[in-house]
Amino acid sequence: MSPLLFLGAALAGGIGAVLRYLVDLGVARLAGRRFPWGILLVNISGSFALGLVTAALPDAAFLLGAGLLGGYTTFSTAMLDTVALWRDGERQASAFNAVGMLLLGLLAAGLGLGLGALL
């Protein structure tokens, strides 16, 4: 891989991180911060998009997958949110965030792969 491709992936990762912040902020304004709906949406949509890109655009998978979507999605924030919910006594919300994100992410990635294979 060329140095320009690595630079492009790094820049795309920065763009993805800004997009994640904006989506999370926008969703929090609409739904409040009691539950991390924004991060859930980011990770599910990112899982779908990565599946789609991987199947439909394999030559762009590094730039878009590792770069843009790597910066967009966030496992660490999701886990911190899950722990914070648990710590605040929101046991059901914490369990939903952890298990729901995993199951919905798997479903979204599978749908993205399936749709991408059709394109």
* Binding residue ranges for Na(+): 70, 73
Instruction: Give the residue ranges of the annotated binding site.
Output: 70, 73
Please state, in angstroms and rounded to a whole number, the distance separating the CA atoms of residues 37 and 98: 12
Cα–Cα dist 47/37, whole Å: 15
Kindly state the DSSP code that residue 58 receives in the 8-state scheme. G
